[in-house]
Amino acid sequence: MKLLIVESPSKAKTISKYLGGEFKVVASVGHIRDIPKSSKNAIDIPGGFIPHYEISKGKEKVVAEIQDLADRADEVLLATDPDREGEAIAWHIAEAVGLKKAKRVAFHEITENAIKEAIKHPRGIDQDLRKAQEARRVLDRLVGYGLSGLLWKKLRYGLGAGRVQSPALRLLVEKEQEIRAFIPEDFWVITAETETKKKERILLECSEKPKDKKTVDEILAKAKKEKWKIVDVKETQAKRSPRPPFTTSTLQQAASTQLGFSPSKTMGVAQKLYEAGHITYMRTDSTNLGAEAIEEISKTIAKLFGKDQLEVRTYKTKSKNAQEAHEAIRPTHSAKKDAGLTGEQKDLYALIWKRTIASQMADASILRTKIIANTESESIPAFSVNGSRLLTPGWLAADPKAREDDVELPKIAAGDPLSLIDIKDEAKQTEPPNRYSEAGLVKKLEELGIGRPSTYASIIKTNIDHGYVEKEGKALRPTDTGEVVIDKFLKPHFGEFISDTFTAEMEEDLDEIADGTREYEKTLRDFYTPFAKQLKAKEKIDKITNVGDAPKEMRCPICGGDMVIKLGKNGSFLSCAKFPECNGARMLDGRELEGPKMLDEKCPKCGGALMERDGRFGKFISCSNYPKCKFIKADPAEEAKKMTGVKCGKCADGEMMERRGRFGIFYSCSNYPECKHIIKSKPTGNLCPLCGELMMEGTKTIPERCSVKTCPNHNPHKLQDENRK
């Protein structure tokens, strides 16, 4: 038996169909080892930045299975993804299982030919690629732990920072500040509706945008008074060339604008398409297409659009840090126009197919027309309109959505008269720059060389998960917390380490490790020495309790004094400058912020005073001696809704009721914690015929099952057999 190891069960299933019984294909289900999160000794810095790896929680069975299969196999092949991450996973599997003679195979598409060809040419694990991935992991850990630990001490517990997520957040914060600093200016747009001799309507717009109403009124008066004519007609024939095939970045951008997918969703859907063998590997900076792929694409174009529409092209990769030895993202079989199991998969595949086919087709030919008109005396600014007409579609036949909206203009010549039907003015204001969308931020990160194709989606998701960024429609807006972390802590104290140039240069250093032209330890030491020195120096800075002064008109609701801006767990708020002597607080918009409210009621458990608090799910009443006393007063009406009417059975007067925990809904006795009877599903009220335990709701095929799980006699099928008897 030969053993082939991949990361994904879906990938293993697809590959098994191609290899038959000679190979046993098994999945590691991603990484099997990692640097421990909590250990201070996770990285041996003096010893040369050597990470201490441990088997990831829950992966013990996977490792044991691979170990058993490897011991019985004649040959072991490591077929993880063809990038640094995949190389690292292959190395971790070999190290954890003790594979001395394991060979590495790599393929960029999951097709029968690609897999069998890769198996014919095995190699050793590329240690340079593996070291580059390890260097990234160690760097991220050193930066994340160092900055996050200091953030907890100096700003607020629970905050975090990262080597690439923080530069991305800085871009969003700087864009928000640019928007706030923007001063709008008034201007007017003047449009004229005109008509030719042949009664053809032409809507023209004034080439100038007046900034005062007096100028507008003068233009309107002259326009209405005088006769109109065509001053000039300019026709220019132009060509539109197709765009390159998709890279990770451009796929994420196109899926965002055309399908409304977030980067993380795009990558998840693309992963499914790749594992099913429909597209090539989806983490790449390359716009290259292989010779075999171009040959197949050429046949598809000739069949669907004609040989005259074929134009084989090569594209230069623009990324500063192009992914090694990859092709662009393309269909594995270009003749297949539709693929995927779900609507999302089908839509994304169609996007990839159209872009790939179009990239090898002839230019589209367009006739661009510009009509310029004015009054006969030309005493006002010229009015104009632009239009275009598609002469030959070329690549737009394959990707029609990429076609610009054509404005068909009538055939007209310079000197022809026009009749003014109506002329209007509309007051407008200049608008601030737009916030970054997810697609826009990905494009900017790629331009600056921040991150890699595999990290763009996680960079955005991490900032959202930390509460630093919110989505408003398609736009990304930094929260109060995100702005404070950047402006009050990272930029003043670690600005060098979250700059564009530093982050991009570090990516280039990692690339050089991957190329074998740079040393692992030297790269990390060159970074960590000044970084550690900076961390130590910043240990002395004062705790940042205030993040700015409140506007003077915002006065303390209790003492009338000055207020300051503070950062709370739910964002920024206004606090009395005399705190803790005065507890006055407001929301940023001026509304009074209510704190915990003492009640004239005693705690039935410890005798302390009860108080009303604000929680994640609204107001609730609890003991003021929390956390020593954890009594929470229940709302009788809400509690009644949760009762099931089923007696506990473990205590005299308890009743099973619905509760919600960290893992979802469960059912327990109403006398908890005195009675700790708990079951996972809703009780039915019936008792088990074998042991007398409560029965709970099961599935459609097994409607009831016993709440006891440990005894083999309580298998739900056996219970059904017992009930039938």
Q: Which residues are catalytic?
A: 281
Helix (H) or strand (E) holding 148: helix 127-154
- Which region, left, alpha or beta, applies to residue 306 given φ > 0 means left and ψ of -120 to 50 means alpha? left
Distance (Å, rounded) from C-alpha 151 to C-alpha 143?
A: 12
Helix (H) or strand (E) holding 269: helix 263-275
Distance (Å, rounded) from C-alpha 397 to C-alpha 361?
A: 9
Give the end-to-end CA distance of the chain in Å, rounded to a whole number: 47
Please give the full DSSP string across 544-611, using - where no structure is assigned. ----EEPPTT---TTT---EEEEEETTEEEEEETTTTS---EE-TTSPBPP--EEEEEE-TTT-PEEE
Query: Is 56 exposed, middle or buried (CB count within 10 Å of its CB: 0-12, 13-18, 19+)?
Result: middle
Q: 3-state class of 668 per DSSP? A: strand
Distance (Å, rounded) from C-alpha 303 to C-alpha 284?
A: 29
Which residue in 107, 104, 120, 11 sits closest to 327, CA to CA? 107
Q: What share of the chain is helix, strand, coil (3-state, %, to 5)?
A: 35, 25, 40
Per-residue tokens: 46: 């003096």
Per-residue tokens: 88: 């690292």
Helical H segments across 399-448, by residue range: 438-448
Q: What is the dihedral of CA 51, 54, 55, 56, to 10 degrees?
A: -80
Helical packing angle, 500-515 and 127-154, nearest 10°: 150
Q: 3-state class of 708 per DSSP? A: coil
Per-residue tokens: 618: 């609204």
Distance (Å, rounded) from C-alpha 212 to C-alpha 572?
A: 40
User: At residue 257, what are phi and psi to the nearest 5 degrees?
Assistant: -75, -35
Is the Cβ–Cβ distance between 494 and 534 less than 8 Å?
Answer: yes
Q: Peptide bond before 673: cis, by omega within 30 degrees of 0?
A: yes
Per-residue tokens: 123: 């190699």
Write the secondary structure of 288-323 as one string of H (helix), E (strand) and C (coil).
CCCHHHHHHHHHHHHHHHCHHHECCCCCCCCCCCCC
Residues recorded for the chain: 725
Q: Which residues contact 663 (CB under 8 A, 6 or more apart)?
A: none
Helix (H) or strand (E) holding 54: strand 54-55
Helix (H) or strand (E) holding 218: helix 213-225
